[in-house]
Amino acid sequence: MARKEKTITNKNLIRENQPKIEECIRTLLGLLGDNPDRPGLKETPKRVAKMYAEILDGQLYTNQEIGKMFAKNFDVDTHNLVVVKDITFYSLCEHHIVPFFGKAYIGYIPNGKVIGLSKLARITQMCAKRLQLQEKLGDDIAQAVMAATGAKDVAVVLKDTKHLCVSMRGVKDDTFDTTTAALYGRFVTKKALRDEFYNIIKK
């Protein structure tokens, strides 16, 4: 299931909290046994706070808002399947706040309009800019695509995904990857359409 939609009215929230985030990072460095005043770490709190403002920007928007943000539409008279493959995404695991990354594959049936193909990549990347789980991310992307296109039939597959929370800690296994699928509309009810999409993304 996708995340519960929550509208944040202050879209500059993370940037406005930069001083507090910097202080938290400085405190953390000390608690981890290092000296936040040594030359190599002195500017680290500022860098980390700036980084979070960039890579967690999607936290400030709902799926609907992300869809509308990239809803540059073109009227079409077609109901043929549209597929975009190999969209690279980077996100942060919400359990350990370490990266996971992989490839997204999006398919949809136009409902009278399409969006620019690059917008599907932008939607994917913005949805990934959150503390996230892969199992949620596909649903988030699908809901944003529906908001952007008006389509009801949407499929999102995330695969070849590496989770550093598995590779760097715990089981410490970097030999496997994870695949998830989020299917809506006729991609659920029509096996032929689902098979067509899966066959395309295999190539």
Domain boundaries, the chain: 13-55, 72-202
Model confidence at 41: pLDDT above 90? yes
What's the confidence (pLDDT) of residue 174? 82
* CA dist., res. 182 & res. 142, Å (int): 7
Could you please state the CATH topology (level 3) that the domain comprising 72-202 is classified under: GTP Cyclohydrolase I, domain 2 (3.30.1130)
165 assigned to active site: yes
Q: What's the pLDDT tens digit per position in 44-72?
A: 999 999 999 999 999 999 999 999 999 98
- Answer yes or no: 96 catalytic: yes
Q: What is the pLDDT of residue 145?
A: 98
User: Is residue 79 annotated as part of the catalytic site, yes or no?
Assistant: no
24 is catalytic: no
Please state which CATH number belongs to domain 13-55.
1.10.286.10
Q: Which of 125, 132, 134, 143 is catalytic?
A: 134
The distance in angstroms from the start CA to the end CA of the chain is 28
Which pLDDT does position 170 carry in this prediction?
Answer: 84
Q: For tokens 């995330």, what's the residue?
A: 158
